[in-house]
Chains A and B, each alone.
Chain A
Amino acid sequence: MVALYVAYPHLGRLEAEVQRVASGILQNLGLLFVPAGVGVMLHLGLVEQWWVALLVAIGASTVLGMAAAAGAFVWVQKLRGRP
């Protein structure tokens, strides 16, 4: 990653090509998580027993975590006088 970061401005003609490949990979990042997600079938019993608690915990904590991160980001940007 560091090598590509350093080399990127010097790629010349290749630059557009590299960018196309890189953004293609990054836009389809979700594919990487499909096998881990299918792994739910290994724990169907545990998930079945605790699904309400797990659902509430994942839902609430994701919203809280995202809102807290966004709030802290905005707050510090404002403190530093940026829009």
Chain B
Amino acid sequence: MNEATAPLLRLWVYLGASPLLWLSVTVCAFVAAARVQRGLRGTPWANPVLLSVLLLLALLLGTGTPYERYFEGAQFVHFLLGMATVSLAVPLRRHWDAVKAALPAMSAALVVGNLAGSVSAMAILAWFQAPVPVVLSIAPKSVTAPVAMGISEKIGGLPPLTAVLVVSNGIFGAIVATPLLNLLRLRDPAGRGFAVGIAAHGIGTARAFQLNETAGTFAGIGMAASTLVASVLVPVLARWFGAAP
């Protein structure tokens, strides 16, 4: 060990043992991924969540760091979840009139969207003859991760698998939202955002807020209301699925 690198090594040993390392790496990876997306003129394909997950996976597998060690640090990101929920009050207040006017359309979209998403996902996995716990794990895939994991546990799914499916669903939803909704010729930012919030929870909402504040607000409401609808709907679907031969 030479004189110059010794302090660096000590610093690394200190940082490596501290949960702050993986928290900082997570934030840096996300900032870098968001820059990449901006550099590519905001193309939805360069989704910052997807890019940072891939980067972190490579880092963790490359350095042989177990997920538990990573999560010790990264879990602090979850503190922001409360702040994000509170922050939704600001756009909600700014767009309240539009929200009030669209309430009936929103209720219809909530039920139809949740039903179509969960039933088709379960049917496809059942058709592939996936094991029952895997089929049940996908049922709550379009609601935000903590709620989805709770539902998954209740109905006999595998909560960590559900978390992965929720995130993949969100990333995919955020990527396809713009082209799909353009194809459907839905121009109203309220309807666009709401559909994205229902089908792609927080990751879709993040994408909607990047594009348009009205769309983001409706996506946030869609995401929040979806957790309520799914908590009631998914256990019923799971029971039906369990009763089917």
Contacts and interface: CB of A to CB of B under 8 A. Distances in A.
Most interface-central of B81, B206, B222 (chain A CB within 10 A):
B206
A76 B74 contact: no
B49 interface: yes
Given A65-B198, A69-B199, A76 B93 contact: no
A22 B87 contact: yes
A33 B216 CA distance: 17
B196 interface: yes
Contacts of A73: 102, 105-106, 108-109, 186, 191, 194-195
A82 B106 CA distance: 13
Contacts of A13: none
Contacts of A37: 49-50, 53, 164, 167-168, 171
- Interface centre among A21, A37, A77, by most chain B C-beta atoms within 10 angstroms, is A37
Given A26-B216, A37-B164, A70-B184, A62 B142 contact: yes
A62 B89 contact: no
Interface string A42-83: 110011001011101111111111111111111111001011
A47 B125 CA distance: 13
Contacts, number: 280
B238 interface: no
Contacts of A39: 67, 71, 160, 163-164, 167
> Which of A26, A40, A47 neighbours the largest number of chain B CB atoms within 10 Å of its CB?
A26
B161 A46 contact: yes
Contacts of B195: 66-67, 69-70, 73
A1 to B, nearest CB: 5
B191 A74 contact: yes
Contacts of A62: 117, 142, 169, 172-173, 176, 199-200
Interface in B194-209: 194-196, 198-200, 202-203, 205-207, 209
B170 A65 contact: no
B105 A31 contact: no
Interface in A1-46: 1-5, 8-9, 18-19, 21-23, 25-43, 46
A52 B128 contact: yes
A82 B166 CA distance: 33
B16 interface: no
B104 A76 contact: yes
B152 interface: no
B30 A54 contact: no
Nearest to B148: A36
- The 3 A-B pairs with the shortest beta carbon distances in the complex, nearest first, are A65-B117, A69-B113, A61-B121
25 contacts: A4-B90, A29-B205, A30-B174, A30-B203, A31-B52, A32-B84, A34-B29, A35-B78, A36-B167, A42-B67, A43-B161, A50-B130, A53-B130, A57-B121, A61-B118, A62-B169, A65-B113, A69-B195, A70-B186, A70-B191, A73-B108, A73-B191, A75-B108, A76-B104, A80-B105
